[in-house]
Structure 1
Amino acid sequence: MTNLKKPLTILLAGIIFSTAAINLSGCSKRRKPKNENPVSATIPETELLKDGHSVWKENTKIRAALESNDFVSVKTMALARINSNPEDPQAYYFLGKSQIGMGELLNGTRSFEAAISLQPRNEGYKTAYAQAMDLLAKSAISLGVPSEAVETYEKLLKSGYNQEETEKKLGDAYVKTFESILESGSPNEAESMIRAAAGKYPEQETIKIRLAEHLLDSDRLMEADRILRGLNNTHPNNASAVAAYGKLIHKIGDTEKAKQMLVRALQIDPANDKANNLKAIIEASMPKVSLAQAPEYSMSLEEILENLKLYEKNGNVNDEKRALEILTERFPNETWAVLDLSIVCEKLSEYDSATKYAEEFLALEPESQKGQLHYAKCLYQKGFFEKGLEIIGELEQSYPNKNELMSEKGQIFARMGNFEGARALWNEVLNNDPDYSETLFNFAQLEMELGNHEQSGAYFEKAIRLEPFNNKYRYFAGLNLIQSGNKNEAHNLWRASIATLNNEDPYAARIVRALGDEGRQEVVSQPQIIESEVIIPAHVINETPADTEAEYSRALGFARAGKFNAAIETFRSLLSHNPSNFNALMNLGKVYTATNRQAQASAIYLKALKLNPQNIHALRALANGYADIGMHSLAYQISNQVKSANPNETEGFPVYNRIIEKNDPRAIEPITKAFLEEGLMSEAMAIVQSTLAQQPENNLMNLLQGDIYKQMGRYDKAAEAYRLAQSREPQTPLPYIRMGDLFAQAKETKNAAAEYTRALNTSFIDPDNMFEIADRFVNIGYNNSASGVWNRLKTMNLNNLQLKKLEVKLGETLSVEQTKIK
């Protein structure tokens, strides 16, 4: 055992212990290491004597100090023990306990590693080590670096310790990392990360739920449906999965089924946040018209039929449904109406009702092929794909409209994830009839779900040309433009249909909601913000009693309590499904102002002002936001306009005694990035172009211009801007990193890797840049290149934070001899 008799510094600095190599489960069968201490973990202290000293007495002193939280004394005694006997595992264990108690988490973890190396079978040491790793991960989350927590939990998971609980914590850490990347303005990077995590840990519900929610927020309903439907089948008692699926069902229009899922979720967990959020969404929905009040109850059959023609012509789907319900009740011999009622319910996404009426119709007319195909459609909408395919298979020989049959069969394939099968069927339909609009729309939706926005747009354009008043086609075409970064084009597309929109059509209603006040045929004045007395923290929030949404109230409560992060998250959640909520925008801006995030606040105030351009509170808040961040020319313009138009309303506005034309150069980057995060593309571009007009050699502006083009999906223009920045500052790494990111987003990993390598070879590369590049190499699958960067970092002069980050990346403990620390 001579090779274990080394000084403490050599032991801690020279022995690198990998967590993956430590079996924390205690179940692994392996050969006994040559130098393993054979003493059992359960040996009584009273029997253990070394060098004539009583370990029992020393342990009693140390345990007493531990119980009284005297960690300094514990550390002193433990170090003395180690100096006298470097083979004493319990001394390292006590040292680790003292270090954890003193907040030295990394050192404590190392000490437990040393104890385990001397006595690998001691379960107590392994448990202490695992608990220390858990604390390290929690510390990373609290410090705002959840990605480091992910790496720590993954190592702990590989070790075999407390698998189920560790995997749950790992899932939560992945979700927090996703949120962090999303908040940084990198939605594509965030989605790639959470997708990879879902593939790596397919049984982790938390990760899958968050991925599905992200897809739902961006209206990629088909994939979200596949994920959430699967989770509800495999984990029927997960309240969050049930509530998330209920939210999807509600979004596609089936309020009744969403209510059923809400009841289920609340029965499982009454306090579940997602379930209570769904409850607030459902309660905010408009109540349906009572059938007892419907005029059709006193009409003849002929009059009802006339009404039905009118409702169908005008797209009044809810009125059409109501009239059909009354018709089938009053005139049961009109069996065709039962099928029509099922078809209308399917249009409204009320799939349970649609299926029920289809079954009633087939009981009356079992040979109806139209009824059978519609029944198959209802079944696949509910997830019964095999049954739907079976019915279609039985119809293939005799159904008169082969294109309709293949179109529906393709839908089933697409929902099952068999995209190639769907494409083959739809291509056959278009070969038979190039103007088959429903198949063009199906192709467009599939390409949009897969992120192929240019191809999707071409299909949408053809479908809309064939059916210019189809609000479903127009709505999803706009979503495709938004997802590709062309929000203004989407709004232009939607605005073009305002004159023909009918709120009774569910997709028309979605267009109106998406446009906000622009989409309303009548101007609805926004409620003004009520100014309140300035008392901390109430000065942050001004509320309007008219806004009674449960989520809005929760957000206000968080802000008043000083829980600003929770307030921001809740306001954001509310705005995700009601982006035209003026009060929510104003109060979110005030929370950002209170937390000294003026750039974000200004972007939010600008969004509020675009909803209500004359609102004096929004004007004042935006002017002050611009002034606080240093965008003085913009603040001056607003103040001067208010002074000219409403001289009695200038109180509280920033005062300028002369025309201000220059802005603080330090304000340009944060305000532009804030505008980008909020989708204010034209405003971001205006700032960049205005600055370039005055400072054409400003390379930062070239990079920001490239970032804007990239987010808009104009990759050619983005590349042009980044290449110009490279030519102007060839020894700066940022232009090459940006160019690499552009290639990575376009899935050109080889070119991305080449750009990252060029960045590494620039003269002004620093350790922080290198960490970023290594992470990017990992993201594109170039793990060897990432390892090369980390090994190069070992030779550099790092500060303490950088050293700790490198230790986490390498899974090693680095000594003073291995790297120089500032």
Structure 2
Amino acid sequence: MKKVIALVLFVAFTSMSFAQKNEIKAIEKALKNSNFSDAKSAASAAEALIGNMDDKTKAKFYFLKAQALYANGAGTDANIDEAISSLESLKDLESKMGKLKYTQQANEMTSSMLNSFLTKANNAFSNKNYKIAAKGFEKAYKMSPKDTIYLYYAASSAVTDQDYDAALDYYLQLKNMGFRGEQMNYYATNKETGVEESFSDKASRDFSVKAKLHMDPRDEKSEPKTAEIVKNIALIYVSQGEDEKALAAMTDARKENPDDLGLLLSEANVHLKMGNRDKFKVLMEEATTKDPNNAELQYNLGVLAAEGGNVEASKKYYEKAISIDPNYVDAYNNLAVAILSEEATIVEQMNALGTSAADNRKYDELKEEKAQLYRDAIPYLEKVLELKSSNIDTAKTLMNIYSVLGEMDKMKAMKAKIEQIQSAANGN
């Protein structure tokens, strides 16, 4: 009985080995005829038998499978990713075996694939097809993981394409691996033109200097890209509404970019979005110390003060914005609104008065205060209309103010202005 069992097992093993060889031959035959579809199918069939393959057969299978999936560059993204993985499996296996039968061919194939990916990625980037560029640089990185700069190029391409999910994945990989991205740049001055030029590598630069075509060679190390990476991670989280993650990333980003005004403002806006108005104000005031001549910062602080009910502070901020940028139309408009916002309090006081002589005198005083508010607001409203002549709301406000103040000629002129704006809007 034992002999029968042994015979059955031997026959089964022989059949399995025969099937493996047939599938491997099928892959080879299809590849020889550049029939990548059949080669892929045969590789899939052989995959089911891989658990019973010896290491020598398995190594050959990995190599053939990679060729079938790559299809001379015509494979799908998923196929090519699998081809890269298959080549890595081959190299790992033969390294453990201590016999590199297919590794040299695999390295040649890897080099060819890498050059193909880089060429396609660079061409796609030049043609502003950033999505394809990102995929190409990502594949180049997978082919050559030591060249982490390719992953950085993939991230930059994805950001330009506004594919923020992909870009975030790339940037997080770069951050977690401690990528800095510094590189040495090589320069020399063209003797004929006197213009300094850059070279792709030191050898080319040194050769040109030796040939007396260039002079004054110098090397310069580029700035690390860590600051850019953490900043972009934070900003992507902001765009995705991941406020808590954004703030955590911004803590890292601001350590790398302590003087980056844009990042500071982004953090301030996240706090405002989350309702942290006090923190928003602190950061905005910090921003004004970093950039005191930024009219927009002053304007935003004015808006914040107005929303907080501090009218006098808002006026000062708007006035500061105008002093920096005399054509800041929104600052003029909001300054007029801030002035006129006090009208409601005056009207409330007037309505609360009685009919006594004292109340009548107080009424007249309040009426004059209200009229003075109008007169104070007029110059700013007129400036708004000067800078933005089609602003019909400002024109209507001015017409009403002129009417209340009894300045009938100005009121009629503004009425005509409103009709002109409306006619233009209607295409007449």
Q: Same fold (TM over 0.5)?
A: no
TM-score, normalisation: structure 1: 0.19
TM-score, normalisation: structure 2: 0.34
